[in-house]
Structures are given as C-alpha cells and as structure tokens.
Structure 1
C-alpha cells in the first residue's frame, strides 16, 4: 500500500480515516483493482482497527469502497449515479423544509440561521474553506431542524457525508465560496421574511446547481 496520511483536523478518528482514504483515491495511491487490508491501513495511519472499520462502513455506504468479507476492502470509482441519487433525496427533503422553516421557525431559530449565514460570509471573505464548509453544513442542519423534522436533518447529514467522500467540493468545479454563500443568502433572506414559497424555490435552485456541478465532475 502506498503512503497515506491522516488529515490535520477531523471531527473523529473515523472521519479522519475516511478522508485519508478518499484523498488516497484522488491521488491514485489507492486503486480499484487491488484489495486492501484493514489491518495494514490501521498500522499505516497509526490508529486502531475500530475507527478504520467504521470509516470503511461509511465509505461503503457512500459507494466509494466495497467491503470484502475476511479480506479487506476494494476501492470503487466514484459514480455520477451515486451523486444523482443523493441530490434527488435532498431535493425531496430540503426545499420543503426551507418552506416550513420560514413559516414555522421561531425567532430564536431564525437568529441561529442568520448567525450561521454570517459565519459563512466571514469565511468566504477570508477564503477559509476549513471554516466555510462546517458553517454551510450547520446552516442546512438548522433549516431542517427549524422545519420541525429532526429525522430529516439526520438523513441529510449522512447524505452530505457521503457526497463529501465522493469528490471535491463544488469550489473545485466552477463556484467560489462567495458565490455559494450568495445562493444561501437568498434562502435565508426568504426564511427570515417568512416567505415560504421563495425559501423553497431558492433552496431547490441551490441544490440543483450543486448537483449539476458534482455530477459533471464525475461523468467522463
């Protein structure tokens, strides 16, 4: 196995292992035709086998690896179809949630949403990807929770994790952080104005644009 390295920061060891594998795939250090051992990966990354197994389960759910019983795992090339499915599910959940967040969200929830958008704006102004994407994720989570559907928030969080493992963020394929923030700003403005129809339309437009860029990157 070629040299892999853990990212400098990650929410958990399993997240760090998953990112190390994804980076290894992107760099050509892990290739589809080989089967890799969980034990070898754990030793190389300097972690126990438990976070490696958890990472493999996440990667398998995302469609990036195939787990081979008693043998290890095999890398699968990312497919546009995987992203299409994820975006389709998010489109079924998030536009409607944005509408409900506008109509049903409390003033306190709206203030949290505004704060998350401000954090995105500040990160975009600094060109700070490391701060921007967690703020983006927080904003989507807050909108879903303000709609009153915590289960949908959990589903979308898992889907976003899967999308992150399938390829680079859309800033690598045609959008700047400032442009992505602007798409969210339209959503939040509608939510704060309690305009459910506009919030739903803005969220749908944002997700469709994101999907197009991600899918274009994965298609040959």
Structure 2
C-alpha cells in the first residue's frame, strides 16, 4: 500500500493547546488500535489534513516516536510504523527483567500491605475488565500494577524507561491475550507477585516477577517470529524454538529451567 491509497485513519479534530503532544497521543492511539498499519507509508501532509493542524506539530510528534523506534521517517515520503523484530522484543524484556525484578526486590524487603492494597485495586479492576473482555482497560490496569511497583521502588528513570519500552511492545497489537493465554491467565500471574510483596517475601516476589515477564517475553517473541516468518498460519514449532534460542542468546544463559 502506498501514500495515495492509504485509507483515512483519523476523524478530523483540532487539538487544544499542545498540538504536538495531542498529535502524539492521537498517533499512538491509532497505532494501538491498528488504524495505522505497519508497513504502510503514511504522508505527513495527509495526517495533518485529517487532524486539521499544520505539518509542524505532526513532524514534532513523529520525531518523538522515531526516537523510541515506534516509527521510521521515510525521507520525502512520510513515515511508517515499525513492527518490532523478535530480537528487539527479547532485548526489551531483558531490560524490563533487570529493572522490574530489582524493583520488586526493593519493595518486598519488608511486609508492605499498603502497597499490596494499591496493587490489588489494580488487579481487581483488571479482573472486571477481563470478565467484560475489555482488553484496553485490562492492560491499562496491568500497566498501573507494574508501574506501581516501580514507583514504590523510588526510581523515576526506571519508570520512564519501562513505560517507553511498553509503548514499543504495544505495536504488536493484541499482546499475548487471545493467542496462547487469556486475560484471566495474565491476571493469575500477577497474584503471586502481589502476595509476596504483602508478606515481605523477597525471593518469591523476584521469582514471580521473573516468571511473569519471561512467560510474556517468550510468547511475544514467538508471535514476532511468526509475523517475520511465514506469518499467516499462526505460531508453529519452529517459531517456539526460534523464540527460546533468541531469548537465551539475549540473556546470555540457558532457559532450560523455565517452562
């Protein structure tokens, strides 16, 4: 698909005060919903016209996205949404492992029922969203649960890094839900993390966070392998083997003990 025949993806609207920030949010939303399709070249002029803004705030928003690898600027043509490569996903989750396992270790050094209560509120809200089948709402509370741990650990830079990494991963579309696990499955992986934080059990908290992130990483790497390979027939045994090999190589150690 080219610039000329790319379908409209925005309802016309005039953003309020911060044009670039508003355009950034609209573009990000369009990527999350699939309205902006990876591989299609979109014209900056086309987007500006649909949003009823000048090209400058669109360019500024796209430059911000390009810095984090969400889009790629195509000179004299526009931009294209970049679908993460399997190894890139592995590298992202390796960073998340380093940051989030360290964060959960810090917050679970002593029993922390107050933090546990806040995290359980996020889990409760995600449970309601899972029951309704509302993926967007579910993953909003999933973010709040993970971000709450990072916030309690007191490292704002780590919070920002993880938030940016999650944005990159979201380009994959439907996460792992509906692929090989349900929203309820994901929710169940959160429970032992929160329980260990409440009880001040450091090692179980670390192990539960590591298992949760590793499971998610492997499923997303498999999904990316399928997309970058044959792509249309779902995840096959070759994709599973390739994902495990990529993950082990990025981490620098075997994953034989990880189911």
Task: Give the TM bin, normalised by the shorter chain.
Answer: 0.7 to 0.9
Counterpart for residue 3 of structure 1:
7
Q: Distance in 1 between matches of 2:107 and 2:52?
A: 44
Residue in structure 1 matched with residue 133 of structure 2 by the alignment = 127
Q: Counterpart of 1:97?
A: 103
Deviation at 1:72, TM superposition (A): 2.7
Residue segments in structure 2 that go unaligned for 5+ positions in a row: 12-20, 230-259
Match of 1:184 among 181, 185, 190: 190
CA contact (8 A) 1:17 1:52 kept: no
Question: Cα gap change, 1:215/1:105 in structure 2, threshold over 3 Å: closer, same or farther?
Answer: same
Could you say what secondary structure the match of 1:66 adopts?
strand
Q: Tell me, yes or no, if structure 1 residue 175 matches structure 2 residue 181.
A: yes
The structure whose Rg is larger is 2
Aligned length: 212
Post-superposition CA distance 1:131-171 (Å, at most 9, x none): 11110000000011112222211111111111112443110
User: Which protein has the bigger helix share?
Assistant: 1
Alpha-carbon separation, structure 2, partners of 1:122 and 1:143: 21
Q: Secondary structure at the match of 2:79?
A: strand
Is 1:18 the equivalent of 2:24? no
CA distance in 2 between partners of 1:87 and 1:176 (Å): 20
The residue matched to 2:181 in structure 1 has which SS?
coil
Q: What corresponds to 2:213 in structure 1?
A: 207
Mean Cα deviation higher: 163-172 or 40-49: 40-49
SS at match of 1:131: helix
Distance 1:214 1:61, change over 3 A: farther
Q: Deviations over 1:58-107 (max 9, x none)?
A: 54245343224565324445311221111111011101211212225754
When the two chains are superposed, the root-mean-square deviation of aligned CA atoms in Å is: 2.6
| Corresponding residue SS for 2:72 | strand
Q: CA 1:53–1:175 in structure 2 vs 1: closer, same or farther (change >3 Å)?
A: farther
The answer (yes or no) to whether the contact 1:64–1:75 under 8 Å persists in 2 is yes
Structure 2 counterpart SS, 1:67: strand
| Off by >6 Å, runs of 4+ in structure 1 | none
The answer for unaligned runs of 5 or more in structure 1 is: none
Contact 1:102/1:192, CA 8 A, preserved across alignment = yes
In the alignment, which of 107, 118, 126 is matched to residue 124 of structure 2? 118
Query: Which is bigger in relative contact order (C-alpha 8 A, separation at least 6)?
Result: 1
SS at match of 1:17: helix
Q: What is the TM-score normalised by the length of structure 2?
A: 0.72
Please give the TM-score of this superposition, normalised by the length of structure 1.
Answer: 0.83
